[in-house]
Structure 1
Amino acid sequence: MDDTIALNGTDQAGEQADQGDVARRLLRSSELMSFDPAREVDWETPLDAAFHGASPEWSTLYGTAYWDEMSPEQQRELTRQESASVASTGIWFEMILQQMMLRDYYATDFTDPAFQWALTEIADECRHSIMFARGVAKLGARPYRPKRSVIELGRAFKALAGGETAYAAILVAEEVLDVMQRDWMRDERVAPFVRTINNIHVVEESRHMKFARDEVRERMKGAGLLRRQVDAVAVASAAYFIVTSMVSDDVYAAAGLDRRRAVREARANEHHKSMVRSSCAGLMEFLGSAGLLTPPARAIYRRANLI
């Protein structure tokens, strides 16, 4: 027996109208409040090494004995490398996101506002990826990539994930970035061009998160127990690999630190774990309301220090 509840024609028409209204509002918002990073970001002024790349409190080593031993110059270099790693991970997942959305809307009604919004979001993500790439270069960092195993898992995920699983995973990635970037964009210790990048991303991603939340809610209506259980674990697994890939272990050597000691202290850093957990409080509340916070999923989130 199918684990979904069939909707009658009236309900389907109502849902389509609601989704169309949301898409039209998002399209209008995009027209009024979008940015061109090529023009908005100061790419010409040379990097000022007196600035951090991210708020120090978000560094994976902040609050450790190693952080206290580092010079201010080393601390700033580390946050620049960590910022570059987060941006690199953002590019990796935005490429996955774009492919999932294109697949989801392939051969659908292109007069539908939801179809047009999907392409608008994909265009935003293309600009964001270029913006992040230029930001990594300006920070004086090399591209950071997830481990090969994670890249291959991402390749499978983007090919197979669909429906609420895809949109919930998109939401997880965007929500985690959103909280930290809101802090960075307001922090005058952070390089001005990085603050501008974060501001652009926060403003434009707020629309993407609204769309993803609505898609998850709609697609979970009537979902049966088995489907919820499978979706919850799939989303939690995606979240685990996204979050644990944000800051590469290679940033420590790039910042001139002892890689082995830095990795050891970062993994035991309760301050950073607490920052990540607090940033995910709203996300976990939403996933719970959508029926995607099952006991097995909770165990995965706990392992990733998201709860």
Structure 2
Amino acid sequence: MSVRPTNTPPARTVSAPAEYDTEFRNLLDRLSDKATAEYYNPFTTFDWPTSIPTDELWMSPELLSVHGTELMDELSPAQLRTLSRWESVNFYSLNVHGIRELLIEVTRRVHTPGFELPSEFFHHFIGEENDHMWFFATFCLKYAGKIYPDKSVKLPETPRDPDIENFLVFARILVFEQIVDHYNVQMAADHRLHPTVRHINRLHHQDESRHIAFGCRLVQLLWERLLDRGLDEAARHDLRSYLGRYLTTSIESLYNPAVYRDAGLPDGFALRKRLLVHPDRQAAHTKVLHKTTRFLNRIGVLDARH
């Protein structure tokens, strides 16, 4: 689920039409005002309990990587609670790694040519994402004693075209945020979970709703600018293929053999392979990615076959 940095410096982005700038500026002003009004200090907001009971669920059962499969029925309630604990730690670990890398990418673009308009909002974005990385890492270290290492597959480098690279960076960030938000929304509302778990997910969703609104508009603008520049069909095919692979690797990062090992399930790599191709898990992936694929289809990045 990680957003990989590259060594290519961003170049000037093609200027948007004046009406885009006006509409985008109004959106940025609204989001910045909302960020200011909803600001919280993460270091004083959380009242971290000494421990979170291990005989409780740490993740909604419907979000577990075994949900809908035969294994869900085969595991005892105690085993499912243990699995939920380690899958939640994996989820927060993925957030730590993904946020670290998106911060690198956004920071490299703040106050650079072509990003003058969103740079003010970038400061809200950077500050909030830094807070998120801190409280996800704190949860993992305080209650599990570790952060799972980043095992994400690095996709091949994209063409060294700065406009394409800018588009792909923010498209990847949007994919990451929308996948995470799917989990946040469900866990924030799940009263079977510990209040601290619900609190973390609620706060993250509160901020991510702004980031996603911003990301959708920015990705659309960057895509439209690529089209205005004259993006040929071969380049469009390459972009679709790249983002399709990124969607796949993002989902696959939720299936961690180390989680299955820590939960006491045998042969985690074989289990991961079996779960990834299970029809009910494939349907779950479609549900998780629905908002993202619908958006990318609507603006013409993907097509109906994705």
TM band (smaller chain): 0.7 to 0.9
Q: What SS class does the counterpart of residue 17 from structure 2 fall into?
A: helix
Note the C-alpha offset of 1:113. Answer: 5.4
Aligned pairs for 1:195-234 within 5 A: 195-221=198-224, 223=227, 224-226=231-233, 227-234=235-242
Aligned twin of 1:174: 177
Cα contact 2:252–2:276 (8 A) shared by 1: no
Aligned twin of 1:92: 97
CA distance in 2, matches of 1:153, 1:263: 20
Aligned pairs, number: 285
Quick one: which of 82, 85, 98 aligns to 2:87? Answer: 82
Note the C-alpha offset of 1:141. Answer: 5.3
Query: TM-score by structure 2 length?
Result: 0.83
Tell whether 2:293 aligns with 1:284: yes
Deviates more, 1:238-247 or 1:25-34: 238-247
Aligned twin of 1:186: 189
CA distance in 2, matches of 1:105, 1:232: 27
CA distance in 2, matches of 1:50, 1:253: 18
Q: What SS class does the counterpart of residue 118 from structure 2 fall into?
A: helix
Aligned twin of 2:257: 249
Cα contact 2:51–2:143 (8 A) shared by 1: no
CA distance in 2, matches of 1:36, 1:275: 35
Note the C-alpha offset of 1:106. Answer: 4.5
CA distance in 2, matches of 1:37, 1:80: 23
CA distance in 2, matches of 1:145, 1:32: 35
Amino acid at match of 2:276: R
Classify 1:262/1:180 alpha carbon distance in 2 versus 1 (closer, same or farther; 3 Å): same
User: RMSD in angstroms over aligned alpha carbons?
Assistant: 2.7
Quick one: which of 225, 237, 240 aligns to 2:245? Answer: 237
Tell whether 2:56 aligns with 1:57: no
Classify 1:238/1:63 alpha carbon distance in 2 versus 1 (closer, same or farther; 3 Å): closer
Tell whether 2:126 aligns with 1:122: yes
CA distance in 2, matches of 1:231, 1:26: 29
Aligned pairs for 1:262-273 within 5 A: 262-273=271-282
Amino acid at match of 1:133: A
- Structure 1: where are the runs of 5+ without partners? 1-5, 299-307
Classify 1:57/1:17 alpha carbon distance in 2 versus 1 (closer, same or farther; 3 Å): same
CA distance in 1, matches of 2:254, 2:195: 22
Classify 1:138/1:67 alpha carbon distance in 2 versus 1 (closer, same or farther; 3 Å): farther
Note the C-alpha offset of 1:33. Answer: 1.5
Quick one: which of 10, 24, 29 aligns to 1:24? Answer: 29
- Structure 2: where are the runs of 5+ without partners? 1-12
Cα contact 2:58–2:84 (8 A) shared by 1: yes
Identical positions, percent: 24
